[in-house]
Amino acid sequence: MTQPVDLLLTNAVVLTMDEKLTQYEPGAVAIKGNSLVAVGTESDLLDQYLASEIIDCQGKVLMPGLVNAHTHAAMTLLRGIADDLRLDVWLLGYMMPVEREFVSPEFVRLGTLLACAEMIRSGVTCFADMYYFESHVASATAQVGLRAVCAQTVYKFPAPDALDYEEALEKAREFIKEWKDHPLIVPAIGPHAFYTCTQEILQNSSKLALEFDVPLLIHISETSQEVETCRNDNGMPVVPYLKKQGIFEAKTLAAHCVHVDEGEINTLRHHNVGVAHNPSSNLKLASGFAPTTNMLEAKLNVGIGTDGAASNNDLDMFEEIRLAAFIAKAHTNDPTALHAHTALTMGTRLGAQALHLGTKIGSLETGKCADLILIDLKTSHTAPRFRRDRDNIYAQIVYSAKSTDVSDVMVDGRWLMRDRILLTLNEIEIIEQTKEYARQIDTFLAQREQSILSKLIAIGGAEEAESYEVQVKVRVQNAQSVIDAIKQPSIEILRFRHYHEYDTYFAFTDPKQGQLRYREDDFIGEDGQVETVRYRLTLLGIAREERLPSDVLLSRSRYLAPATHSLRFYREYFKPASETVIHKDRLRWRILFHGTECYINLDEVNQPNLGSFVEIKSRTWSRRDAEHKSELAVDLLKTLGIVTDEIIGKEYLELI
Amino acid sequence: MTQPVDLLLTNAVVLTMDEKLTQYEPGAVAIKGNSLVAVGTESDLLDQYLASEIIDCQGKVLMPGLVNAHTHAAMTLLRGIADDLRLDVWLLGYMMPVEREFVSPEFVRLGTLLACAEMIRSGVTCFADMYYFESHVASATAQVGLRAVCAQTVYKFPAPDALDYEEALEKAREFIKEWKDHPLIVPAIGPHAFYTCTQEILQNSSKLALEFDVPLLIHISETSQEVETCRNDNGMPVVPYLKKQGIFEAKTLAAHCVHVDEGEINTLRHHNVGVAHNPSSNLKLASGFAPTTNMLEAKLNVGIGTDGAASNNDLDMFEEIRLAAFIAKAHTNDPTALHAHTALTMGTRLGAQALHLGTKIGSLETGKCADLILIDLKTSHTAPRFRRDRDNIYAQIVYSAKSTDVSDVMVDGRWLMRDRILLTLNEIEIIEQTKEYARQIDTFLAQREQSILSKLIAIGGAEEAESYEVQVKVRVQNAQSVIDAIKQPSIEILRFRHYHEYDTYFAFTDPKQGQLRYREDDFIGEDGQVETVRYRLTLLGIAREERLPSDVLLSRSRYLAPATHSLRFYREYFKPASETVIHKDRLRWRILFHGTECYINLDEVNQPNLGSFVEIKSRTWSRRDAEHKSELAVDLLKTLGIVTDEIIGKEYLELI
């Protein structure tokens, strides 16, 4: 009795990737609608099934499609805009400013189509995505015919598609409702990471995932810095902290898990959390080596992901699968670690299980979806083929084959690629359309790079503020006499502070850009100890805007902001042509003198050793006011008993 | 005034990879004969040159061909025969036995052709090779039209092409003479590594290289074990040891250099030694992370190699170049380490310099050879292209492009590939021919795998020896009474020894294979201390070959050899189904009893705790002799006052 089916694929080396790693050669697969009706030897299936169409696979490998367990598909449009940078410079200096400017539904749609083209070409049939405007990711993917878990990103900052997290959560809810029962798309919620989400966001995300029984996607312990932050802020590593927020109550997929300990691995296992390992991304961003062999030993479902193309810079799962094996060997110092068949299982069945789709996809088994690929191993870079051991063919695929050896791709019973021709999208048109985005982004960044001020504004969190200041500076030999003189009745002291100032000045090739000062102010208490520390970033105009009578300076501070990043960050981001360091001990009085507010600074410049100075400074707003205040400043100097014919019309920077 | 040239390549993104990383877009290259006449902008070259042929490169990248700085080309025929193994198991258990059996001029020729096909397809125009029958590597390469430095391997063991090192050196001399002035082939000498060569080989190799002014290729510090061996044997690391042998007097190219310290790096630099870094191979074999950033900082010429396809398992330089950047970042924990343009320079100009061919190839500069490739970057996996920074395009090539994006390859002015069609070899025929080798090697290994004895013989250094032994065993309660009884006059003691025996028995799925015993004999001196240690491997037949009267055993030891490798090695190589461990304290007397030589063993079996036993053993050669000796053994037991009705007809292994 033969049973009718739609399609029979024959004459293949069938690698089922099931629990037993069953192989059939010559093998065959019977397909009806979108499902696998049977998988077995060619002769058995030819006997048992009557097919509307029979396709001879010509001895190619027939296996389940690859599962890309972590990506940001639309970021293909940002591929290669900035490389070889540290994560913070790359993210805050380039990705986020560009995303704020360019990410839109159209951007997301085009980027997703480009990603789908690349992924189909490299044998991916399902991917897990996290991005903005996720409904546009979903619709582009569904249109192309790929399968995906699509997570709408939520975090505490304003995003390209949501002004605040409440709006983001609301959008996620709408998105999940809309796509809940789609045959190809599994909607999900994506709280970005512990450090970009509040407890409330994490808890609400988990509730939403549970309410609709959809997956929750999150980044976990990608860098050691992230773990350290969590320990400092919450007194525990990332996994227990997220557990406390209820994150693992949901069907969770955790990307990275580079820095997790044995206890955390057990927690992940206990809650059936899927893990997405991202070899290239972790190498390229120097995030560290994920403990994949330990996670696999603990029976965690560890899939493999490409991460976004902006960090990686491609979506080639063949490369990732090979690297998963390579890295595990190198990291454990054991070449027998993570065999080829394990790596390929991670790229298929374990990946599907990590995405909580293990019952539908990931292996060629009766009843599962017809998501499959053909690989041509008759190439000069894979020949010859050895058959002594059944592991030979896994090694051939993992260690020798390339993504370009994938000839045919089927998802849900539908061919997306035949003989390397893409059937469901117009690749040339898509590539053509990306050029305009690249041009616009190039222009945006080029303009920004021309101006230090623009670069400063681009990294956000800063206020632009113009301020004019009148400044008089003289050298003093006897600091104590100045301190004593300030106590006289004509000077009303409003406030006194003592601090150490550590300044680093960045100078640029074009002097018109001014100089950027990174200042650490250590406030010294009465006991001589540091009380508080403040970091500020100031973009200084050209030092001498104008000279007033008696060498009084009129300077202009164009920009002032708290410096939330490290000096190292700013150095790598602004790439100064040169740097100058000045350290000084400063006594600062805010006073009233003849009814006018001004500051007296008594500075001892230690590095370089320039000696002691008195500065009189006063904010101003007009040329006339500036002239008045400059006369007052000279008066004040005289009142302090300081000879005024030695006024120095220069900044400390110019005295070096 | 226009100058006539043979060929003008126009409308290209020309990446010269010269010292300044000069780029031209749209750029062009003028070629006359085998040389580059000019490299510049398209408009300049169109003005200055009148070409017999103009080819429009359609906006592709035009750059120097890649230099594969270390490979064993012919080993493509062994690609994937054994993976996920430790280096020693892989090398001694698989590579060397198969090479001894199969490597011939025909094998080398076919393997080289296969390698050339793969390398041309992936944009390699020059490679450095080390193997056997190197003249056949050279002739196959020259015929195909690739450029290569070909080193005839020399070491202290018999090789497939030389019975001893004198013959190998003589062959190398002949080879060098024959190929000395070939336009494409640079002959060289390849002393394999310090641990496979005697001082004499190393010194003579260097002399030969100097005599003919040819390069010397050698493996240096691939594993930490190699360095440890060198320190133990020679009291210094590998680099100073080789320096002492005069190796660096030659134009040396050192493969790997994974475990070299700062001092060694300086020595290499001082002697202008080229380095071939092999990222995939080092990862896959867990050799370690080479200090590439330090070597580059020291201005060493660090090229990139694929290593042989049997270990790697492909010859894809795009993969290696990308990994060189990735690994440096991950290893130094700094994502800004080893930028894309540096990685690509390593794959081209630095590689050429490492091969001591820097004046001829490695960059597109006037006067250099016309060795170049075209890369098509208009693909979905490389789009879009950013142009803001000139580094963008290097990142695009290194991090996104694939070897299959190489469309055209020219070496020495001759096209080897146009539009992905190989012009100088028949790829399909070559792949077809590899099948027969794969079949034969599969058969050879499969037969060998079926027999533990064959596997034992395959790893060499062992003698096959059949020996029959008569054995009588009884349990004793009072060991001291036996020791006293041996002193009686009817027993002549020839020798006495005391030792601890640590036995590990490997059992196999097929019991007919017998058991393999790994034995450590610790000889105990009169002071109770271990004097010497001996390791032996014995393949035991089925324990009870035959039972003689009175439960005397006749056992047959089929094979005996010193165990030169570790227990771990044998475990991974033989893959036993189960293991049993037995430790005992043994007092052993060689005696004469009634004119017959035999042994008395007084054993205390500690692990597992079985108690004390006396064994009488005697070698035998015939059934009749065996019967005689078994009677004698029972007599001897009685003489020792031991009750003989409790003779145990079992090995210790069977008592557990």
The model's pLDDT over B579-624, given as tens digits with 9 standing for 90+, comes to: 999 999 999 999 999 989 999 999 999 999 999 999 998 887 666 7
Pairing of strands B421-422, B414-418: antiparallel
CB contact under 8 A, B438 and A283: no
A433 touching B, CB under 8 A?
no
Phi-psi region of B257 (alpha: psi -120 to 50; beta: other; left: phi over 0): left
Cα–chain center distance at B643: 57
Q: What pLDDT is attached to residue B420?
A: 97
Encode pLDDT of B433-443 as tens digits: 999 999 999 99
Token couple for B587: 């007092």
B314 touching A, CB under 8 A?
yes
Pairing of strands A215-220, A251-256: parallel
Q: What pLDDT is attached to residue B450?
A: 74
User: What average pLDDT score do residues A408-426 get?
Assistant: 98
A76 touching B, CB under 8 A?
yes
A392 touching B, CB under 8 A?
yes
For residues B136 and B112, the answer to whether their CB atoms sit within 8 Å is yes
User: What average pLDDT score do residues A592-610 get?
Assistant: 92
Distance from CA of A51 to the nearest CA of B (A): 32
Encode pLDDT of A52-63 as tens digits: 999 999 999 999
Distance CA A485, CA A637 (A): 10
Angle, helix A105-121 to helix A427-450, in steps of 10 degrees: 120
Q: Which residue from A minimizes the CA distance to B442?
A: A388
Size of interface A-B (CB pairs under 8 A): 222
Distance CA B446, CA A390 (A): 12
Q: Which residue from B minimizes the CA distance to A442?
A: B388
B306: number of Cβ within 10 Å: 32
Q: What pLDDT is attached to residue A544?
A: 47
Please provide the average confidence, as pLDDT, over all residues in chain A. 92
Q: What pLDDT is attached to residue A545?
A: 52
Distance CA A423, CA A420 (A): 9
CB contact under 8 A, B286 and A335: yes
Q: What pLDDT is attached to residue B543?
A: 46
Q: Which residues in chain B have Cβ-Cβ distances shorter than 8 Å to A93?
A: none
For residues B68 and B375, the answer to whether their CB atoms sit within 8 Å is no
Distance from CA of B317 to the nearest CA of A (A): 12
Encode pLDDT of B260-302 as tens digits: 999 999 999 999 999 999 999 999 999 999 999 999 999 999 9
CB contact under 8 A, B85 and A399: no
Encode pLDDT of A308-327 as tens digits: 999 889 999 999 999 999 99
Q: B65: closest CA among B97, B94, B36, B25?
A: B36
* pLDDT tier for residue A546 given thresholds of 50, 70 and 90: low
Encode pLDDT of B57-80 as tens digits: 999 999 999 999 999 999 999 999
Residue of B380, B404, B572 to mutate for A, most A C-beta atoms under 10 A = B380
CB contact under 8 A, B84 and A392: no
Encode pLDDT of B370-409 as tens digits: 999 999 999 999 999 999 899 999 999 999 999 999 999 9
CA-to-CA dists, residue B8 to B11, B101, B120, angstroms: 10, 50, 22
Q: Which residues in chain B have Cβ-Cβ distances shorter than 8 Å to A340?
A: 83-84
Encode pLDDT of B509-533 as tens digits: 888 778 888 999 999 998 889 888 8
For A20-57, give the DSSP string: T--EEEEEEEEEETTEEEEEEEHHHHHHHEEEEEEEE-
Token couple for B54: 């103009």
User: What average pLDDT score do residues B441-451 get?
Assistant: 85
Please enumerate in sequence order all residues whose Cβ is within 8 A of that of B637, keeping only pairs 6 or more positions apart, or say none.
B472, B474, B614, B616, B644, B647
Encode pLDDT of A229-277 as tens digits: 999 999 999 999 999 999 999 999 999 999 999 999 999 999 999 999 9
Closest partner CB to A84 (pick from B339, B387, B430): B339
What does residue A577 show for φ and ψ, rounded to 5 degrees? -75, -35
Distance from CA of B221 to the nearest CA of A (A): 16
B603 touching A, CB under 8 A?
no
Q: Which residues in chain A have Cβ-Cβ distances shorter than 8 Å to B403?
A: 402
Q: Which residue from B minimizes the CA distance to A338?
A: B84
Encode pLDDT of B495-510 as tens digits: 999 999 999 999 888 8
A420 touching B, CB under 8 A?
no
Residue of B116, B334, B381 to mutate for A, most A C-beta atoms under 10 A = B381
For chain A, the first-to-last Cα distance in angstroms comes to: 97
Q: A569: closest CA among A292, A225, A66, A240?
A: A225
Residue of A86, A124, A333, A381 to mutate for B, most B C-beta atoms under 10 A = A381
- B536 pLDDT exceeds 90? no
Running DSSP on this structure, what letter comes out for residue B90? I
Q: What pLDDT is attached to residue A649?
A: 75
Ranges A156-160, A215-219, A416-420, B153-157: which has the least confidence:
A156-160
Q: What pLDDT is attached to residue A557?
A: 59
Distance from CA of B424 to the nearest CA of A (A): 14
- A367 pLDDT exceeds 70? yes
Angle, helix B165-179 to helix B199-212, in steps of 10 degrees: 10
Distance CA A190, CA A475 (A): 60
Running DSSP on this structure, what letter comes out for residue A605? E
CB contact under 8 A, A449 and B388: yes
Distance from CA of B429 to the nearest CA of A (A): 11
Distance CA A614, CA B109 (A): 84
Distance CA A251, CA A210 (A): 8
Percent of chain B with pLDDT strictly greater than 90 = 72
Closest partner CB to B400 (pick from A79, A282, A381): A79
CA-to-CA dists, residue B347 to A526, A546, B126, B318, angstroms: 62, 54, 11, 9
Distance CA A306, CA A312 (A): 7
Please enumerate in sequence order all residues whose Cβ is within 8 A of that of A564, keeping only pairs 6 or more positions apart, or say none.
A461, A535
Q: Which residues in chain A have Cβ-Cβ distances shorter than 8 Å to B327?
A: 283
Closest partner CB to A285 (pick from B313, B335, B340): B335
CB contact under 8 A, A80 and B379: no
The tokens 């065993």 sit on which residue? Answer: B473
Distance CA A543, CA B82 (A): 69
Q: What pLDDT is attached to residue B376?
A: 98
Encode pLDDT of A293-305 as tens digits: 999 999 999 999 9
The continuous run of DSSP H or E covering B634 comes out as helix B623-639
Q: Which residues in chain B have Cβ-Cβ distances shorter than 8 Å to A345?
A: none
A579 touching B, CB under 8 A?
no
Q: What pLDDT is attached to residue B455?
A: 79
Distance from CA of B575 to the nearest CA of A (A): 13
Distance CA A442, CA A436 (A): 10
Token couple for A653: 């920077």
Most confident of A590-604, A628-642, B107-121: B107-121
Q: Which residues in chain B have Cβ-Cβ distances shorter than 8 Å to A85?
A: 335-336
For residues A194 and A246, the answer to whether their CB atoms sit within 8 Å is no
Most confident of A82-86, A420-424, A526-530: A420-424
CB contact under 8 A, A395 and B313: yes
Ranges A465-479, B170-184, B372-386: which has the least confidence:
A465-479
Q: Which residues in chain B have Cβ-Cβ distances shorter than 8 Å to A435?
A: 383-385
A384 touching B, CB under 8 A?
yes
Q: Which residue from B minimizes the CA distance to A290?
A: B330
Residue B599 burial (C-beta neighbours within 10 Å; 0-12, 13-18, 19+): middle
CB contact under 8 A, B384 and A438: yes
Token couple for A602: 């008594």
Token couple for A228: 């350290």
The tokens 């020729």 sit on which residue? Answer: B109
B333 touching A, CB under 8 A?
yes
For residues A67 and A348, the answer to whether their CB atoms sit within 8 Å is yes
For B6-51, give the DSSP string: EEEEEEEEEE--STT--EEEEEEEEEETTEEEEEEEHHHHHHHEEE
Burial B124-149 (b: 16+ CB within 10 A, else e): bbbbbbbbbbbbbbbbbbbebbbbbb
B11 touching A, CB under 8 A?
no
Distance CA B301, CA A544 (A): 49
Percent of chain B with pLDDT strictly greater than 70 = 95
Distance CA B130, CA B266 (A): 25
Q: Which residue from B minimizes the CA distance to A427?
A: B380
B621: number of Cβ within 10 Å: 10
- A462 pLDDT exceeds 90? no
Q: Which residues in chain A have Cβ-Cβ distances shorter than 8 Å to B222?
A: none
Please enumerate in sequence order all residues whose Cβ is within 8 A of that of A368, keeping only pairs 6 or more positions apart, or say none.
A35, A36, A359, A360, A361, A362
Domains of chain B by start residue, with CATH? 3-59 (2.30.40.10), 66-359 (3.20.20.140), 463-655 (2.40.320.10)
CB contact under 8 A, A121 and B380: yes
Closest partner CB to B386 (pick from A80, A122, A282): A80
Instruction: Identify which has the larger pLDDT, B556 or B328.
Output: B328
Partners of A598 in the β-ladder: A591
Q: Which residues in chain A have Cβ-Cβ distances shorter than 8 Å to B427?
A: 380
User: What average pLDDT score do residues A61-77 get?
Assistant: 98
B546 touching A, CB under 8 A?
no
- A589 pLDDT exceeds 80? yes
Q: Which residues in chain B have Cβ-Cβ distances shorter than 8 Å to A87?
A: 335
CB contact under 8 A, A316 and B402: yes
Running DSSP on this structure, what letter comes out for residue B369? B
User: What average pLDDT score do residues B137-148 get?
Assistant: 98
* pLDDT tier for residue B557 given thresholds of 50, 70 and 90: low
- A471 pLDDT exceeds 90? no
User: What average pLDDT score do residues B208-237 get?
Assistant: 96
CB contact under 8 A, B384 and A337: no
Please provide the average confidence, as pLDDT, over all residues in chain B. 92
| Largest separation between any pair of C-alpha atoms in chain A | 115
CB contact under 8 A, B446 and A388: yes
Q: Which residues in chain B have Cβ-Cβ distances shorter than 8 Å to A572?
A: 336
Encode pLDDT of B450-487 as tens digits: 777 777 777 765 555 555 678 888 999 888 989 999 99
Q: Which residue from A minimizes the CA distance to B378?
A: A431
Running DSSP on this structure, what letter comes out for residue B65? P
B47: number of Cβ within 10 Å: 11
Residue A276 burial (C-beta neighbours within 10 Å; 0-12, 13-18, 19+): buried
For A390-421, give the DSSP string: TTHHHHIIIII--GGGEEEEEETTEEEEETTE
- B156 pLDDT exceeds 90? no
The tokens 């020309």 sit on which residue? Answer: B14
Distance CA A563, CA A567 (A): 9
- A543 pLDDT exceeds 50? no
Instruction: Identify which has the larger pLDDT, A513 or A202.
Output: A202
